[in-house]
């Protein structure tokens, strides 16, 4: 695939959403060819929706072709398939279409163990589907919800003072299927997109939605994916989202806390990951980690195993962060341990040992999968700290009741860095 000619809006967000909207609308008008049309893949999330709204403002909406790909990896949201919900949101958009490409995505991702290979399989199908839409409508230009951190984490370099090596292949950065691409959000981060989204009149439940990655649930299923594991992940993710929102609603009257001045939403992200329960019996790393953890918590009963599946992380190498892809530690602690110590373990174990993250077991069952509950606080996704809620116990009970084949339900206690927010 040839490289797209990309034009990116590069001015930083200066705090005034109306000015940002005016400036990006002028930017779009400057770079859109006078009679050309544009294809915008929309995921249902805020970034691509804001992109769509900016184009709709800048040019005749009949020249804008929003499309949603049903990859089969989209979420269940309170029991509803996400593509159905996206279709409802865009029902008044003149050229909107949903493309069912589930079988093609399964074919290019099932049976692959390595995270980057899986990502490439997903990305290849994603681009092929968009190329077909471009050809069908004879369009060469595209845009999507690419934001600043996506670019920084894919290409390396620096973003807001943090030095980054190449972290992962973001599906929407580089290798674009378009001949030319116009990126109005390339200079801003998630919290800023939310502020712009509100100014554009996007309803709060949408502008404040938690981020959802382009490769969707495929990057929350470490190891080989098949239909059963994917269905378990969909169900588990819906239960975790619902449970965390319930906690915040009871405590604060809303499913999240939102700071309208900074654009920060707490929690930033919360979801389930589904991995194989297989343990790597071949090395003594689990024992070594167990000894180290005992040194931190004293005389508690601790057991640590190293899982066979690997997950992504980021660690400093030659003064910059580089991507890591290492196994996860499953830790069982008998008795109460203060959450600050649990967080300290999550932070230091991946720094001291060749592992990507620490998962603290909170419920035991029997079966081929482990489910990890991950909730994080973050401003811009470049760093994140784990949130550990008492409510996780109730969520774990529901997961055990509702999901078949669960060996262990655990809480991911690792910050970013040294882990990443997603698993792959």
Residue 83 as a binder of ligand XMP (CB under 6 A): the answer is no
Residue 194 as a binder of ligand XMP (CB under 6 A): the answer is no
Of residues 265-304, which lie at the interface with ligand XMP (CB under 6 A)?
269
Question: Rounded to the nearest whole angstrom, what is the least distance from the CB of residue 269 to ligand XMP in the complex?
Answer: 6
Question: Rounded to the nearest whole angstrom, what is the least distance from the CB of residue 235 to ligand XMP in the complex?
Answer: 20
Nearest to 371 by CA among 349, 400, 336: 400
- Count each helix (H run) and each strand (E run) in the chain, helices first: 12, 19
Backbone angles phi, psi at 144, to 5 degrees: -155, -170
Count of residues that bind ligand XMP according to CB under 6 A: 16
Question: Rounded to the nearest whole angstrom, what is the least distance from the CB of residue 19 to ligand XMP in the complex?
Answer: 26
Only segment of 13-21, 213-221, 290-298, 354-362 that touches ligand XMP (CB under 6 A): 213-221
Q: Print the binding letters for residues 139-178 with ligand XMP: x by CB under 6 A, - otherwise.
A: -----------x--x----------------xxx------
Nearest to 151 by CA among 407, 381, 388: 381
Region of residue 124 (phi > 0: left; psi between -120 and 50: alpha; otherwise: beta): alpha
Residue 421 as a binder of ligand XMP (CB under 6 A): the answer is yes
Residue 214 as a binder of ligand XMP (CB under 6 A): the answer is yes
Q: What is the CA radius of gyration of the chain?
A: 21
Q: Indicate the residue among 214 and 286 with the shorter CB distance to ligand XMP.
A: 214
Residues forming a β-bridge with 307:
279
Which of 72, 213, 263, 327 touches ligand XMP (CB under 6 A)? 213
Q: Measured between alpha carbons, how far is 130 from 209 in angstroms, rounded to an integer?
A: 25
Of residues 300-339, which lie at the interface with ligand XMP (CB under 6 A)?
none
Please answer whether residues 234 and 218 qualify as being in contact, where contact means their C-beta atoms are separated by less than 8 angstroms: no
Half-sphere exposure of 158 (CA within 13 A, CB side): 5
Largest interatomic CA distance in the chain? 72
Which of 217, 238, 416, 417 touches ligand XMP (CB under 6 A)? 416
Only segment of 49-57, 176-184, 208-216, 403-411 that touches ligand XMP (CB under 6 A): 208-216
Question: Rounded to the nearest whole angstrom, what is the least distance from the CB of residue 416 to ligand XMP in the complex?
Answer: 5
Nearest to 147 by CA among 256, 45, 70: 45
Tokens standing for residue 34: 């006078």
Of residues 359-388, which lie at the interface with ligand XMP (CB under 6 A)?
381
Nearest to 216 by CA among 352, 106, 92, 65: 106
Which of 66, 165, 184, 215 touches ligand XMP (CB under 6 A)? 215
Q: Indicate the residue among 198 and 374 with the shorter CB distance to ligand XMP.
A: 374
Nearest to 383 by CA among 72, 206, 180, 167: 167
* Interface positions with ligand XMP (CB under 6 A): 150, 153, 170-172, 211, 213-215, 219, 269, 381, 416, 420-422
């Amino acid at each position: 695939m040839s490289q797209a000619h990309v034009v990116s809006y590069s001015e930083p967000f200066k705090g005034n959403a109306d000015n940002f909207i005016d400036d990006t609308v002028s930017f779009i008008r400057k770079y859109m060819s006078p009679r050309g049309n544009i294809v915008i893949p929309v995921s249902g999330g805020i970034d691509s929706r804001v992109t769509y709204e900016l184009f709709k403002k800048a040019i005749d909406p009949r020249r804008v072709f929003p499309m949603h790909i049903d990859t089969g990896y989209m979420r269940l949201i309170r029991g509803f398939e996400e593509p159905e919900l996206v279709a409802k949101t865009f029902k008044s958009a003149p050229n909107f279409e949903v493309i069912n490409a589930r079988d093609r995505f399964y074919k290019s991702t099932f049976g692959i163990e390595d995270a980057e290979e899986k990502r490439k399989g997903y990305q290849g199908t994603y681009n092929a589907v968009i190329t077909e839409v471009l050809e069908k409508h004879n369009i060469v230009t595209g845009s999507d919800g690419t934001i600043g951190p996506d670019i920084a984490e894919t290409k390396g370099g620096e973003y807001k003072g943090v030095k980054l090596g190449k972290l992962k292949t973001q599906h929407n950065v580089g290798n674009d299927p378009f001949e030319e691409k116009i990126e109005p959000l390339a200079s801003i981060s998630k919290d800023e997109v939310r502020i712009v989204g509100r100014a554009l009149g996007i309803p709060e439940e949408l502008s404040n939605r938690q981020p959802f990655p382009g490769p969707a649930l495929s990057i929350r299923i470490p190891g080989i994916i098949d239909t059963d594991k994917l269905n378990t992940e969909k169900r588990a993710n819906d239960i975790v989202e619902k449970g965390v929102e319930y906690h915040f609603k009871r405590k604060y009257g809303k499913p999240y806390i939102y700071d309208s001045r900074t654009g920060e939403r707490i929690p930033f992200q919360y979801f389930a990951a589904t991995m194989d329960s297989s343990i790597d019996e071949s090395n003594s790393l689990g024992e070594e980690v167990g000894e180290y953890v005992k040194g931190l918590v004293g005389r508690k009963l601790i057991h640590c195993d190293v899982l066979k599946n690997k997950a992504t992380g980021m660690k400093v190498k030659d003064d910059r962060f580089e991507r890591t892809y290492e196994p996860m530690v499953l830790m069982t602690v008998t008795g109460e341990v203060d959450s600050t110590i649990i967080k300290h373990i999550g932070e230091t174990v991946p720094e001291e040992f060749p592992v990507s993250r620490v998962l603290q077991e909170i419920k035991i069952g029997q079966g081929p999968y482990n489910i990890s509950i991950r909730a994080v606080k973050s401003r811009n996704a470049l760093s994140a700290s784990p949130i550990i809620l008492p409510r996780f116990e109730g969520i774990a009970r529901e997961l055990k009741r509702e999901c078949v084949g669960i060996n262990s339900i655990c809480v991911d206690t690792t910050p970013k860095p040294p882990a990443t927010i997603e698993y792959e």
